[in-house]
């Protein structure tokens, strides 16, 4: 790890340390770096904002997207105080972040009461075996939802390539 990368990672840990003094903040910090500059940072504000998606990585992605006025961050690197949970990792995939650098791993996080490992295990299960049950609609309501998707994709300037 380069000196610059270590400095970014230490900054993410410093952001996580704010939780020790700020009510409603949990001990996670993250930042997005593009071309050697921090373009977004975030702390975990789930409790403070009453928002289960307000994890540090998501907040950093939101800030980076707003600062750069784009949602694709394929030139960015995510630095985070701990290994991202499944939601945050997926958010990085959606943003096309090619690299995530973290300090503590999921086992360290689990040791201190966070559920990341349980969620990773749960997602490996067949859908029928998960604690969160999804119910797929069928019939007219599904057809209506699919017609909205089709109308949207048909209006795009480039043809959509199915991603199965």
3-state SS track over 47-96: HHHCCCCCCHHHHHHHHHHHHHCCCCCCCEEEEEEECCCHHHHHHHHHCC
Q: What is the DSSP letter of 114?
A: -
6 HSE (CA, 13 A, CB side): 3
The active-site residue out of 5, 21, 41, 57 is: 57
Is 144 annotated in the active site?
A: no
Other CB atoms within 10 A of residue 160 CB: 11
Question: Which helix (H) or strand (E) segment is 16 a member of?
Answer: helix 3-17
CA distance 87 to 46: 13
Cα–Cα distance for residue pair 10/136, rounded to 1 Å: 44
Residues that are catalytic: 57
């Amino acid at each position: 790890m380069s000196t610059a990368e270590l400095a970014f990672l230490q900054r993410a840990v410093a952001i996580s340390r704010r939780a020790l003094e700020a009510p409603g903040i949990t001990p996670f910090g993250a930042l997005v770096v593009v071309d050697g500059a921090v373009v977004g940072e975030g702390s975990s504000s789930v409790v403070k904002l009453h928002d289960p998606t307000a994890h540090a990585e998501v907040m950093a992605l939101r800030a980076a997207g707003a600062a750069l006025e784009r949602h694709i961050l394929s030139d960015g690197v995510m630095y985070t105080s701990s290994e991202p949970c499944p939601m945050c990792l997926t958010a990085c995939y959606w943003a096309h972040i090619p690299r995530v650098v973290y300090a503590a791993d999921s086992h360290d996080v689990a040791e201190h009461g966070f559920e990341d490992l349980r969620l990773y295990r749960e997602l490996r299960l067949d859908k029928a075996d998960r604690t969160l049950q999804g119910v797929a609609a069928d019939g007219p309501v599904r057809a209506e939802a699919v017609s909205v998707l089709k109308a949207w994709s048909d209006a795009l300037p480039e043809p959509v390539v199915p991603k199965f």
